[in-house]
Amino acid sequence: ARDMVAEGLIDRNEAVRRVPAGQLDQLLHPIIDPSVRAVPLCVGLPASPGAASGVAVFDPDSAEVRNAAGDAVILVRDETTPEDFHGIVAARAVLTARGGMTSHAAVVARGMGKCAIVGCKDIEVDLEHRRFSVDGTQICEGDWLTLDGATGRVFAGNLATIPSEVVRVTSGAITAASSPVYQSYSELLGWADEVRSLKVRANADTPRDARIARAFGAEGIGLCRTEHMFFEGDRITSMREMIVARDELGRRRALAKLLPMQRGDFEGIFEAMNGLPVTIRLLDPPLHEFLPHGGEEGKLLARTLNVPRSELHRIVESLRESNPMLGHRGCRLGITFPEITEMQGRAIFEAAVRAMRRGIDVRPEIMIPLVSTVAEFDHQRAILEEAAQQVMGVMGENVDYLIGTMIELPRAALTADEIARSAQFFSFGTNDLTQTTYGLSRDDAGRFLPAYIESGIFGDDPFQVLDARGVGRLIRIAVEEGRRVRPDLKLGICGEHGGEPRSVALCHQMGLDYVSCSPFRVPIARLAAAHAALDAK
Amino acid sequence: ARDMVAEGLIDRNEAVRRVPAGQLDQLLHPIIDPSVRAVPLCVGLPASPGAASGVAVFDPDSAEVRNAAGDAVILVRDETTPEDFHGIVAARAVLTARGGMTSHAAVVARGMGKCAIVGCKDIEVDLEHRRFSVDGTQICEGDWLTLDGATGRVFAGNLATIPSEVVRVTSGAITAASSPVYQSYSELLGWADEVRSLKVRANADTPRDARIARAFGAEGIGLCRTEHMFFEGDRITSMREMIVARDELGRRRALAKLLPMQRGDFEGIFEAMNGLPVTIRLLDPPLHEFLPHGGEEGKLLARTLNVPRSELHRIVESLRESNPMLGHRGCRLGITFPEITEMQGRAIFEAAVRAMRRGIDVRPEIMIPLVSTVAEFDHQRAILEEAAQQVMGVMGENVDYLIGTMIELPRAALTADEIARSAQFFSFGTNDLTQTTYGLSRDDAGRFLPAYIESGIFGDDPFQVLDARGVGRLIRIAVEEGRRVRPDLKLGICGEHGGEPRSVALCHQMGLDYVSCSPFRVPIARLAAAHAALDAK
């Protein structure tokens, strides 16, 4: 298309129009060398594109150990939980036997731009013997695997992969001048940026992710999930100390240890996004996700925290939930334990002041999750404003900030006018909003959703393509009624849909200000936003 | 108030108006003899009114055994699951350490008009030693307890209780003529029935419950939960055989055993409700609720079904869900396993024909649960219509029936116009609709909901009092848009809210045709519906 523009055959807009946004994916991820011929072991759901080879490992700790020893590893699990996070970080790719396109493994890997194949039903993971079998073939720990995340194919052995040129340029490995592919890509996206009105942000949880996002053209961070920071290194121990504390004093003691770590992360993210908005979501997942569930790790934790094992077991059991997705999480945590919100608020404002003192233009937007009534929002906002006043008073600097909310529950959308009187922005959490609108758990849908789509009962997987009729209607209600009471209400989405071309088009039509997606999907969203703008002309 | 009418001081409507609907509760349930003075052991949530004494038992099987031996028993559990059903049936009352006002124990006990105290946090249940302790006092299996469900108080010992006169009349133990209290009650409700426009149905799962409901004035059954039939006696074994079957043939074999049992129940219910509508909901809960989770029962089941224990364990594990509330349940089961819907359809129509041949006026309304799109509804409707044609063809009788749906997911309400083109009635499942609209699990809310209500973040517990602003808005959308495409669309609610006076008033305002509630709440709903009609004048 670029050549045709050069030749004067089509104009720039037509060039932008002719490149399907989804096609950019292949420019961004490594692929298996097309000259290699091999028969796949099995095929799962292509949850996150890219090709990767590595040795199979079956638990996150082994992944970390082998990665530290210099091995390329592929983490193979029945399904992953937040406790696998460090294993996913250490792995080149993730393969799971269960879970759908928006299961934990899929979402986390996609967020990291890392290859993932999930819901690969044919494999049977035998954790005890550290192997899996598929159709009689056994793959043991240490055996090589190659995954093609674009097609969901899993191969035995170490197949050759080719890295993407575009990524090598954005990561600084090669220069733009040496890459004609990058130049085309870059020029095309430049044209796209000229026509689109929808802004594109990225979901990024660390300074490193923020830098990658910016290199891909993100115009801010739409979702920084603070909980991911709590899983790294020794932080999980302080987090667990907070959870098992008997009283507020004990919680505050543990939170005091977490504060400087969070502050450091936020400062790094503000630095990476100098001049751009950074939306930080307060702690969201239920606390039991941070605790070990028995076994060696439980024993160790009891010793580290000096808590009797029976007491620790009792705490873990008392936090167990029937439906964690609908349980004690989001702002419900911050309301039960205001000291958590207070710590997070302090960490954000202290980081902001420190960054400002270094000349960085800081634009924090603090986001309160899982709000269902304006009273919940007001409760949390008051704590954050108090923290802001304290920090700014002590440090003698003024930080410009916004406080807004996720709209991820139907009730929040249906009462958007009340909430918008108090909230300065809405970010539609379309993953959770889809789950609650459909009454459908992402993690459990794998058992029947494929059949639903195959038989046409669902036209699309609603976790991949935003549902215009149901979820979209709630968003429209919230946009319209929210803007009616606050005309300058900032509106965006931060679900996985933000990187899916048809969903991006819908967001444009619904009048949102921005979409936010995984860093590696930012170029796709930029192009899709341009398509939406051109289609509306 | 009745005396004042007799004396000509006030008219009948004013008499109806002066009696608070909630006050009827005390006329319907036994109470602890007010002359007895005792200090409660502890206080929990008053989940279902009434007073009951019995010996403590700690598992459903013991409850059944002791009840069969003639003991009055009180089932004490950490929390209950559907597997405790037969134990709740056998018990006089239920006491749980965990769970909220709409936990399993609370809902089931309320449905049975049986006393329950839940979420009694001070008690620590020691299942292994079959005892519980509270503040140093130990209550062992066989020790007497007395529960006051109206106040949540738990007493040690066997305190004297007084049965309700009204119940003794409706159950036929004494005559109406001998009970002035019953005469007042009956006359007042007669006046209430004259002014109300909202009909009142009952949620009843067995012929016995249906008879009780009718005695309390129910004008139909609004919710017959077919799954409760599967837990009784040996049926659970056939149900489990169906679940662990390897293929459709195996499932059909097990379903063939269940069919005559379901048919018999339906016939009994049709008989009890002669001339009144009976709404039958297809199988709703996730299949794992029917399976034992390891232990002796698992061993026994493996032997009974002749399945290797490892295979049974694998099946149980494979059905485990992260969020069962949002998982493979409702019509999703009937779509994955159409033979289940087919069996249930056949059982309903065969029962209807058999009852008709005995001169019974049968009005089945078949309800498809957990619909989120009209395509799901159409899929299930086609199977039911096919079953109807087959049964009516073979048996040579014509049954008048309706096929409708639960509206219990926000998406169903938001797409009501599409669904109403296909569905002949909507029944708002306000329990689940509240859960999904708020993103709040009834079973997990206990950890923070009391604090929310205490601090005023929630004005009311939305599981007790229907939320007019959020859930109510969805209902209004569905009522308005559903009736627009089908003016004679029948509309009702079948959640727990149907027996709560303020919620009944809201249902009247929203233009519903009926509410449906537990049999023991029918009189309250009748009076509340009259109040709503009077208030609207």
Give the confidence band of A227 by pLDDT, cuts at 50, 70, 90.
Answer: confident
| Cα A113 to Cα A521: distance, rounded to the nearest angstrom | 8
ipTM above 0.95, yes or no: no
- Residues from chain B that touch A435, judged by Cβ atoms under 8 A, are 326
- Residue in A with minimal Cα distance to B414: A470
Which one of A78, A438, A454 would you mutate to disrupt binding with B, by most B Cβ within 10 Å of its Cβ?
A438
Nearest to A415 among B414, B436, B470 (CB): B470
Residue B86 annotated among the catalytic residues of the structure = no
pLDDT at A388 over 70: yes
Min CA distance, B375 vs chain A (Å)?
5
Give the confidence band of A82 by pLDDT, cuts at 50, 70, 90.
Answer: low
Q: Does B313 touch chain A (CB under 8 A)?
A: no
Min CA distance, A377 vs chain B (Å)?
10
- The average pLDDT across A431-455 equals 87
Angle between helical axes of A235-244 and A309-319 (0-180°, round to 10): 80
- Decide if B458 and A408 are in contact by the 8 Å CB cutoff: no
Catalytic residue among A42, A115, A494, A517: A494
Work out the number of other CB atoms within 10 angstroms of the CB of residue A65.
14
- Residues from chain A that touch B437, judged by Cβ atoms under 8 A, are 372, 409-411, 414, 436
- Residues from chain B that touch A444, judged by Cβ atoms under 8 A, are 321-324, 326-328
Counting as low any pLDDT under 70, the low residues of chain B are 1-2, 82, 111, 294, 446
- The average pLDDT across A179-183 equals 91
∠ Cα B246 B249 B252 (to 5°): 110
- List all residues 6 or more positions away from B473 whose beta carbon is below 8 Å from its beta carbon: A414
Q: What are phi and psi of A444, to 5 degrees?
A: -105, -10
Q: Does B437 touch chain A (CB under 8 A)?
A: yes
Q: Does A235 touch chain B (CB under 8 A)?
A: no
- Decide if A415 and B458 are in contact by the 8 Å CB cutoff: no
| Cα A80 to Cα A305: distance, rounded to the nearest angstrom | 26
- Decide if B326 and A326 are in contact by the 8 Å CB cutoff: yes
Nearest to B322 among A443, A457, A474 (CB): A443
- Residues from chain A that touch B336, judged by Cβ atoms under 8 A, are 447-448, 451
| Cα A324 to Cα A489: distance, rounded to the nearest angstrom | 31
∠ Cα A41 A43 A44 (to 5°): 135
Give the confidence band of A111 by pLDDT, cuts at 50, 70, 90.
Answer: low
- The average pLDDT across A243-248 equals 91
pLDDT at A300 over 90: no
- Decide if B435 and A326 are in contact by the 8 Å CB cutoff: yes
- The average pLDDT across A104-121 equals 84
Min CA distance, B242 vs chain A (Å)?
17
Min CA distance, B1 vs chain A (Å)?
41
Buried b (16+ CB within 10 A) or exposed e, A509-527: ebebbbbbbbbbbbbbbbb
pLDDT at A379 over 80: yes
Kindly state the helix (H) or strand (E) to which residue A180 belongs, with its residue range: helix A180-195
Q: Does B325 touch chain A (CB under 8 A)?
A: yes
**Torsion region of B322: left, alpha or beta (phi above 0 gives left; psi -120 to 50 gives alpha):** alpha
Q: Which positions 383-412 of A are in contact with B (Cβ < 8 Å)?
A: 408-411
* Strand order across the A73-77 sheet: A42-43, A153-156, A144-148, A51-57, A73-77, A93-96, A115-118, A45-48
* Cα distances (Å, whole numbers) of residue A168 to A19, A174, A178, B101: 22, 6, 11, 58
Structure tokens at B432: 């689940």
pLDDT at A353 over 90: yes
Give the confidence band of A1 by pLDDT, cuts at 50, 70, 90.
Answer: low
Question: Measuring CA to CA, which residue among A170, A208, A162, A205 is closest to residue A189?
Answer: A170
Q: Does B444 touch chain A (CB under 8 A)?
A: yes
Which carries the bigger pLDDT value, residue A172 or residue A113?
A172
- Residue in A with minimal Cα distance to B473: A414
Which one of A440, A469, A471 would you mutate to disrupt binding with B, by most B Cβ within 10 Å of its Cβ?
A440
Q: Does A450 touch chain B (CB under 8 A)?
A: no
Residue A531 annotated among the catalytic residues of the structure = no
Cβ contact A224:A281 at 8 Å: yes
Structure tokens at B295: 């232990």
Give the confidence band of A50 by pLDDT, cuts at 50, 70, 90.
Answer: confident
Domains assigned to chain A: 30-163 (3.50.30.10), 196-226+248-284+330-535 (3.20.20.60)
- Residue in B with minimal Cα distance to A408: B439
Q: Does B376 touch chain A (CB under 8 A)?
A: yes
Nearest to A444 among B327, B448, B457 (CB): B327
